[in-house]
Chains A and B, each alone.
Chain A
Amino acid sequence: EAQVTQNPRYLITVTGKKLTVTCSQNMNHEYMSWYRQDPGLGLRQIYYSMNVEVTDKGDVPEGYKVSRKEKRNFPLILESPSPNQTSLYFCASSFFSGGEQYFGPGTRLTVT
């Protein structure tokens, strides 16, 4: 089944404790992206990747890191999480930039 998977789905953590949210797709998509969704602000792009080893900042990259070592995986790293990073996070992929996106199920992160 074609899908985008994210783990964990729910995470409660404390300020400053490094964490990684994994994202994997099995559709051989070139483009992958991370978004956060906050009430009243909608979806905002954090980082995206056009292909392996090619990543670029979206609108809200501060406090986040990404890597794209393999085509299928695009983990999101929070080196020192802060409460303002409490949000619902989505990973998505598509065949090309601008193409139809397939979204993961979301990761609800709470930073206390």
Chain B
Amino acid sequence: KNEVEQSPQNLTAQEGEFITINCSYSVGISALHWLQQHPGGGIVSLFMLSSGKKKHGRLIATINIQEKHSSLHITASHPRDSAVYICAVSPNTGNQFYFGTGTSLTVIP
């Protein structure tokens, strides 16, 4: 049983393209998180969402609580955006985190 599903698993884009990564979850949540992991392993938090939309530079994250769905958009993609993007949820019951298996993004110059 996987509480968090991401799509696509792998994504290759040309520099400048608009990118969308999707996340669906099956549990009630207190928050949804988008994480970025570059080759070499370090993980950083990009967004924490409980409703609506957040924007940081070229990255936009949206969430629809009723549909249990979130999207991460990257506008004007750049090779430095190449990384694995991970969706995670904090259920509203319990204190655990559940993670998707990640989307590996490669942006070609």
Residues in chain A within 8 A of chain B (CB atoms): 31, 33, 35, 40-45, 48, 50, 56, 58-59, 88, 90, 92, 97-103, 105-106, 108
Partner of B44, one of A50, A56, A103: A103
Beyond A58-B96, A97-B95, A103-B43: 18 further Cβ-contacts under 8 Å?
Answer: A33-B97, A35-B99, A41-B101, A42-B86, A42-B102, A43-B97, A44-B99, A45-B96, A45-B97, A45-B98, A56-B95, A88-B41, A98-B30, A98-B95, A100-B33, A101-B45, A101-B97, A103-B44
Q: How far in angstroms is the closest Cβ of chain B from A66?
A: 14
Q: How far in angstroms is the closest Cβ of chain A from B79?
A: 23
Closest to A88 in B: B41
Instruction: Given A42-B86, A42-B99, A98-B90, decide whether A105 and B33 contact each other with a Cβ distance below 8 A.
Output: no
Q: How far in angstroms is the closest Cβ of chain A from B7?
A: 14
Instruction: Give the size range of B's interface with the partner.
Output: 20 to 34
Instruction: Given A98-B30, A100-B33, A101-B33, decide whether A43 and B48 contact each other with a Cβ distance below 8 A.
Output: no
- Check if A103 sits within 8 Å of B42, measured CB to CB: yes
Most buried by B among A35, A41, A90, A98: A98
Q: How far in angstroms is the closest Cβ of chain B from A51?
A: 11
User: How far, in whole Å, are A92 and B97 apart by their CA atoms in the complex?
Assistant: 11
- Kindly supply a per-residue 1/0 record for chain B positions 8-38, scoring 1 wherever the CB is within 8 Å of any chain A CB and 0 otherwise: 0000000000000000000000110101000
Residues of B near A99 (CB, < 8 A) are 31, 48
Partner of A48, one of B33, B41, B86, B95: B95
11 contacts between A and B (CB under 8 A): A42-B100, A43-B97, A59-B96, A90-B43, A97-B95, A98-B90, A99-B48, A103-B42, A103-B43, A105-B42, A106-B43
Q: Is B88 an interface residue (CB 8 A)?
A: yes
- Check if B95 sits within 8 Å of A100, measured CB to CB: no
User: How far, in whole Å, are A31 and B97 apart by their CA atoms in the complex?
Assistant: 12
